[in-house]
A and B are shown apart, each in its own frame.
Chain A
Amino acid sequence: ETGVTQSPTHLIKTRGQQVTLRCSSQSGHNTVSWYQQALGQGPQFIFQYYREEENGRGNFPPRFSGLQFPNYSSELNVNALELDDSALYLCASSPPFQNTEAFFGQGTRLTVV
């Protein structure tokens, strides 16, 4: 276990709805990153939060948004869900120094129907 926990583990939503996914980072980690892993693909970077501010974003539209809280936990929000948003969403936390590894949670499996 990495100490990174995500909820819920599985979720089914209808196209057009909105969803919020949650992540608790490992103790002492102040950086949280979110990744989308479509079936048969590697994880793709969505965005990263550092000290409650967005610190970099991948090639994802603005309907993907996030938050980081003072305790460094984080949320990923997706509005206007599309069928292609169906994927495993991974949260990773990193300690507060450079050149370190990321620790991943088990992910949230989102299915959009």
Chain B
Amino acid sequence: AQSVSQHNHHVILSEAASLELGCNYSYGGTVNLFWYVQYPGQHLQLLLKYFSGDPLVKGIKGFEAEFIKSKFSFNLRKPSVQWSDTAEYFCAVNAQGNNRLAFGKGNQVVVIP
């Protein structure tokens, strides 16, 4: 079974600061990788996904993530955050061909105006 680790559960930063959230997974086979975001009071939304190809993936709202296979990592980055990026961010993984997602515990990000 897959497992996902996210560190620094609570992150507080000022607008215009850069954001990087770490994600490591454990699974021996080929995986699909996702970052989902949950804004206050809203449903989980997909930020970006990686299935294959270029390991640097660009998503919505200026977010990007890099898949490093040798490190089993899929870290999320945004060069300059806005107050509206305040949300909880979840890294998730599934085995290719299998839609069952394993999620990390999430990162609660608060951006101070």
Q: Mark B96-113, 1 if CB is under 8 A from A, else 0.
A: 111111111110000000
Roughly how many angstroms separate A99 CA and B33 CA in the complex, as a whole number?
A: 10
Interface size class of B (residues with CB under 8 A): 20 to 34
**Given A101-B46, A101-B49, A106-B43: A45 and B100 within 8 A (CB)?**
yes
Q: Which residues of A contact B4 (CB under 8 A)?
A: 42
Q: Which residues of A contact B51 (CB under 8 A)?
A: 99
Q: Which residues of A contact B43 (CB under 8 A)?
A: 2, 4, 104-107
Chain A residue with Cβ nearest B96 = A99
State whether the Cβ of B34 lies closer than 8 Å to any Cβ in chain A. yes
**Given A98-B96, A107-B43: A44 and B49 within 8 A (CB)?**
no
Within 8 A of B (CB), among A27-42: 31, 33, 35, 40-42
**Given A2-B43, A41-B105, A99-B32: A48 and B90 within 8 A (CB)?**
no
Q: Let me know if A42 and B106 touch, CB within 8 A.
A: yes
B interface: dominant SS: loop
Q: Which of B6, B34, B100 makes the CB contact (< 8 A) with A33?
A: B100
State whether the Cβ of B44 lies closer than 8 Å to any Cβ in chain A. yes
Interface size class of A (residues with CB under 8 A): 20 to 34
Q: Which of B49, B90, B96, B99 makes the CB contact (< 8 A) with A42?
A: B90
State whether the Cβ of B42 lies closer than 8 Å to any Cβ in chain A. yes
Roughly how many angstroms separate A33 CA and B44 CA in the complex, as a whole number?
A: 14
Q: Let me know if B101 and A33 touch, CB within 8 A.
A: yes
Q: Mark A29-66, 1 if CB is under 8 A from B, else 0.
A: 00101010000111111001000000010100000000
**Chain B interface residues toward A at CB < 8 A:** 4, 6, 32, 34, 36, 42-46, 49, 51, 90, 92, 96-106
| Known contacts A56-B98, A58-B100, A101-B49, then 12 further A-B pairs from the complex at CB < 8 Å, ordered by chain A residue | A31-B99, A33-B100, A45-B100, A48-B99, A99-B32, A99-B97, A102-B99, A102-B101, A104-B36, A104-B43, A104-B44, A106-B42
